[in-house]
Amino acid sequence: MELPELLHRIDALQQRIVAAGPLNPDAKRKLDYRFRLDWNYHSNVMEGSQLTRQETRTIMMGNVTVEGKPIRDVMEMQGHNEVVLTLLGMASGELNLSERRIKEIHKAIMHEDDPAKKDWPGNWKKHPNHIYNFKEERFDFTPPEDVPEAMHRLLDRTKAALEAIKRGDKDAPHPAVVAFDFQREYVTIHPFHDGNGRTARIFSNLLLLSFGYPPAIIKAEEQEKTAYNRLLAEVQVYGASPDLFNAFMAERLIRSQELVLEVLSGKDIDDADDLDKRLQLIDAQLAAVDPADEIQRIRGRETNLALLNEWGYSLFAQAIPVAQKFNRYFLNTQHDIFLVNGPVSVRFLDEPAEQVIGTLQAEIAKDDQKLQGVTEIQLWLRFGTFRKASRKPFGCNYGIKIKLEDYHHYQVLVDVFNVSGGRSEEPLIKRLYHKPLTQAEQKAIVQRMGKEITDHIEYYVAQNAQEDTTSTS
């Protein structure tokens, strides 16, 4: 099929896509994943990456090590995936086509281990480069000294074409042709030392995406890859019409449009064994998780009781005598340990910690089913009026809170001194239920509580002393 017919086909398919309206979120997520996987895998393999399609999936899921494969391939795939993820999330109309952005994206997708080449990614090439085409004839790309001007002209031509399209000029080129021309001219310049094919395809697809088209993906399968390289050479070296290359690219775009329409029609676009492969990847990642980090308990009566017995009672037993050290500074003082959403509360003042904890245990033992719905266990300290504050009386409330989060973890929070007044608490530890606080951690929490109360008293004592001095003078 000739290029004009292919462009007409692109227009007809795009009209159907637009008329169908936006994809639902789940369908869009699946389509974007498919485009991202195909784009990442094929574009990198075309440039020599040794990663398989399944290994590409693992990197897309966040695994940055693939056994037996070059670290450069892994790092470049990771960078490429991040760029593609950003582009697929763009709204149509967004473009920002500039030399700066080209260099930024090149730097993001390239990785160099050689110290002598560390500054090559993101900078125009410093040395000549060439290829041997399908006829084994050498083709020299644009010399390094001419690259800045060549790229400047390419961007100017592309932007002029885009402006003509936006104005609706009669002789304006087809948007897809602008994208394909950019890709072909870019790889003919070859502005970087490496990674030119990948960046060319990224910016060609960026142009397509900005007009609302899906990305055009060239598959790394031998027949398609060979046709791509041969058509480039025919245009670059042997004077063939650019329409030949553009027609090839138009067919790739049509393939992507047809995939969009399949999703819009409700068709499942996952590979036949896609689910099993993805589950295998999840299993492989989970195998590396430390068993100690697996959820072993969920919130409920048994978990809450175990938490108290393993370390909760111990924490409060250490906190009570520290809190009682401050009793002598205040009038109308009273303290409580209570369970939120559980009708258990124990009030104390100067009683020994063992007695207070014993009373709490006895209250819970009367009916430990009360623990089932408990969401917090609090030590609540209320220090009434400071005994020595002659001019500006003050009191304070402090405490330790064990917050029992939904399902699988707890938090320990401590009230902290707040000059502006009001209760302010700071989370100190968040942990799975089966992981207890150590004795050292319990001690540190109690010390922090004592420090905050001391800070409060020192601040207001100093404030009163300052007012007394001012009044006397």
Backbone angles phi, psi at 376, to 5 degrees: -150, 150
Q: What's the confidence (pLDDT) of residue 81?
A: 84
SS3 call for 237: coil
Q: What's the confidence (pLDDT) of residue 56?
A: 85
Whether residue 239 is predicted with pLDDT greater than 60 in this model: the reply is yes
Q: Which of 152, 151, 205 is nearest to 176 (CA)?
A: 205
Q: What's the confidence (pLDDT) of residue 68?
A: 72
Q: What's the confidence (pLDDT) of residue 273?
A: 58
88: confidence class by pLDDT, cuts 50, 70, 90? confident
Q: What is the pLDDT of residues 1-31, one digit of tens each?
A: 899 999 999 999 999 999 999 888 888 888 9
Q: Mean per-residue pLDDT for 414-438?
A: 89
Q: What is the pLDDT of residues 349-360, one digit of tens each?
A: 999 999 999 999
Whether residue 464 is predicted with pLDDT greater than 70 in this model: the reply is yes
Q: Which of 165, 196, 163 is nearest to 48 (CA)?
A: 196
Q: What is the pLDDT of residues 394-419, one digit of tens each?
A: 889 999 999 998 778 999 999 999 88
Whether residue 283 is predicted with pLDDT greater than 80 in this model: the reply is no
Domains of the chain: 3-287 (1.10.3290.10), 301-472 (no CATH)
Instruction: Tell me, rounded to whole angstroms, the distance of Cα 473 from its chain centroid.
Output: 61
235: confidence class by pLDDT, cuts 50, 70, 90? very high
278: confidence class by pLDDT, cuts 50, 70, 90? low
Q: Mean per-residue pLDDT for 294-321?
A: 94
271: confidence class by pLDDT, cuts 50, 70, 90? low
Q: Which residues of 179-203 are buried (b: 16+ CB within 10 A; e: fewer)?
A: bbbbbbbbbbbbbbbbbbbbbbbbb
90: confidence class by pLDDT, cuts 50, 70, 90? confident
Q: What's the confidence (pLDDT) of residue 66?
A: 64
Whether residue 285 is predicted with pLDDT greater than 70 in this model: the reply is no
Q: What's the confidence (pLDDT) of residue 390?
A: 61
Q: Where are the alpha helices (DSSP H) in 190-221?
A: 196-210
Q: What's the confidence (pLDDT) of residue 333?
A: 95
Range in 196-200, 309-313, 342-346, 386-390 with the lowest mean pLDDT: 386-390
Q: What's the confidence (pLDDT) of residue 442?
A: 97
SS3 call for 380: strand
Q: What is the pLDDT of residues 50-65, one digit of tens each?
A: 888 888 887 887 765 6
Q: What's the confidence (pLDDT) of residue 63?
A: 65
Q: What's the confidence (pLDDT) of residue 421?
A: 64
Whether residue 212 is predicted with pLDDT greater than 80 in this model: the reply is yes
